[in-house]
Amino acid sequence: MSKMLEDLFNKPDEQIFMFLVVCAAVLLTALGLEHLRGLVPCELCLKERYAYYAGIVLSIGATGALSAGRQSLAAALIAGAGLLLLANAGLGLYHAGIEWHWWAGPSTCTGNPNALATNGDDLLKSLENQNFVPCDKPAMSPLGLSLAGWNMPIGISLALLAARAAQLLGRTKALAAS
């Protein structure tokens, strides 16, 4: 077990692979909850997935660059993926704050109960726009933290993992040059 942990902390290819696996696991979990359990994601939930999709693509690119001996490119790709996940952690904090009612969310996410229809046309338009899932009501809260809330520690952890991989790749290149 300690050898596996040592590899994870000291081998950038292992870190990139772990980054890829975690991004894929998060997306598969979200898609499974949506399609198998029937949890409909809100607008912010869908936006929070983008960083994980990009993380998968960038980590695959980093793996390819590493295989081709292009360590600088691999470092840049995984660092970029890490920055995206760090920004996503911020989006998760924003979304969780909306769920905890610390601040108001966008009107497209929380609806506007004060907007009353004054005529038949307005009523029909408002009914057409009622197909939204509110962002201020968490669908579930495993271990006391909403899914949006879980994006914070996951995103920060992935950003740190990516930063470590990029750091090691930079060191390896510097050692090879000397």
Identify the three-state secondary structure at position 40: coil
Q: 92: which 2 tokens?
A: 């998760």
- CA–CA gap between residue 15 and residue 21 (Å, rounded): 10
Q: How much is the pLDDT for 178? A: 47
Contact 55, 156 (CB under 8 A): no
Crossing angle of helices 2-10 and 12-35, in 10° steps, is: 100
Six token digits for residue 143: 């271990």
Q: Which of 58, 82, 86 is nearest to 164 (CA)?
A: 82
Band of pLDDT at residue 8, cut at 50, 70 and 90: low
CA dihedral sign of residues 146, 148, 149, 153? positive
pLDDT tens digits along 51-108:
999 999 999 999 999 999 999 999 999 999 999 999 999 999 999 999 999 999 887 7
Least confident of 8-17, 91-100, 126-135: 126-135
- Percentage of residues of the chain with pLDDT beyond 90: 63
Q: Is 140 left (phi over 0), alpha (psi -120 to 50) or beta?
A: beta
Give the amino acid at 123. Answer: L
Q: What is the mean pLDDT of the chain?
A: 86
- Domain total in the chain: 1
Query: Would the pLDDT of 154 be above 80?
Result: yes
What pLDDT sits at residue 135? 85
* DSSP 8-state class, residue 17: H
Determine how many CB atoms are found less than 10 A away from the CB of residue 55: 28
HSE-CB at 89 with a 13 A cutoff on CA atoms is: 14
Q: What is the pLDDT of residue 5?
A: 63
- Distance from C-alpha of 30 to C-alpha of 109, rounded to nearest angstrom: 19
Alpha carbons 34 and 16: distance in angstroms, whole number = 27
**Per-residue model confidence (pLDDT) at position 124:** 62
Using an 8 Å Cβ cutoff, are 159 and 83 in contact? yes
pTM: 0.82
Residue 69's domain comprises 2-177
